Amino acid sequence: MKPLIDGKSVTVFCCAFLFLFYSCSAVKNLAANEMNVFYSFDPEIRIMVNSPKEIDQSKPPLLIVYALPNGNTIEMTAGKKMKSGDDWHYDIQHIAAQTRFLRNTLKEYTIHIAYLESAQKSWPSWRKKYNDGEIARIVKKVRSQTGNPVSVILSGHSGGGSFITGFINAYDTIPDYISRIAYLDANYSYDDSLGHGMKLLQWLRSDSTHHLSVLAYDDREISLNGKKVVSPTGGTYRATQRMVKYFREVTDIKSFQDSMIIEYECWHHRSRFLVHSNPDTLILHTVLVEKNGLIHSVLFNTVFEEREYTFFGDRAYTNFISGE
């Protein structure tokens, strides 16, 4: 499948062999130098692949797969400059702007990002209807549409972490082409009894380019409208502690605390757990994404780490937020 570009729009012809995609369409670019292609994917999935309009074939492709949080659309997740009357969800993640920041930083790559939205607006609910093999199929097809990159970053926020878990469940071993896994306050469904820790450790051991990023905060006591949000066994704080406990049993973990961020690190800096201590008991769920969460998960342990941005600092991508 090859998009035909006339400078104003993108038309995508779906050939018969792409039977898994039953409809495709293109929309106006969020930014003048980008193109967005929408797919409908069976079962009950909507996908937008955002790519540079001009593809430099000399640059290797890098694909970021981003599974949406519960209750958010692709457009909300991408974000935009806010106008009077706009829904607040458009101003809480800004994944499009964070991706533009990454493109401006990692100029040696052609970066594609695939936004994955389920019809239920909830990946945990979608997974109750469909098996995890479908998730593997989704990633395989999106990868094929972006030049079969040898480097794929699997990421998600909130309920989007359930998509990551489903992908891990679908394989005996995590595929080598997954270069980074990024749980952006999203690891609720981590479960040692399902082999998640074992598979992650095998994957980290298998290649020195593999990286694991986990962002979380102490959500044990947060409340909304006078009621506790997290159950006595739930939340990403407890899930992260389960992960750290498993990792600590098989490898050395170093821990540090800088201001309010507790950091657990292992595998030669390639596995990083960042936990906000949350002394004021605030709801920081999506704030961890907003404050450069995706940027940091892609750039940590590279020469670009904390260069022109700070994790949990001011938005480093403000100038990359589109008005569309």
According to the model, what pLDDT value does residue 211 have?
A: 98
- Quick: pLDDT tens for 163-206: 999 999 999 999 999 999 999 999 999 999 999 999 999 999 99
Amino acid 123: pLDDT: 98
pLDDT over 70 percentage in the chain: 90
User: Quick one: fold of 48-320?
Assistant: Rossmann fold (3.40.50)
The three-state secondary structure class of 224 is strand
Q: Which residues contact 203 (CB under 8 A, 6 or more apart)?
A: 173, 174, 178, 181, 210
pLDDT (0 to 100) of residue 5? 28
Angle made by CA atoms 217, 314, 179, in degrees to the nearest 5: 60
Tokens in use for 250? 């098989």
Where along the chain do its domains lie?
48-320
Q: pLDDT tens digits, residue range 7-43? A: 333 333 333 333 334 344 444 434 679 999 999 999 9
| pLDDT at residue 316, as a whole number | 98
Q: What is the mean pLDDT of the chain?
A: 91
Contact 270, 212 (CB under 8 A): yes
Q: What is the pLDDT of residue 210?
A: 98
Residue 14, pLDDT score:
33
> Among candidates 160, 52, 67, 145, which has minimal Cα distance to 106?
52
Q: Which residues of the chain have pLDDT under 70?
A: 1-31
Contact criterion met (CB below 8 Å) for 144 and 95: no
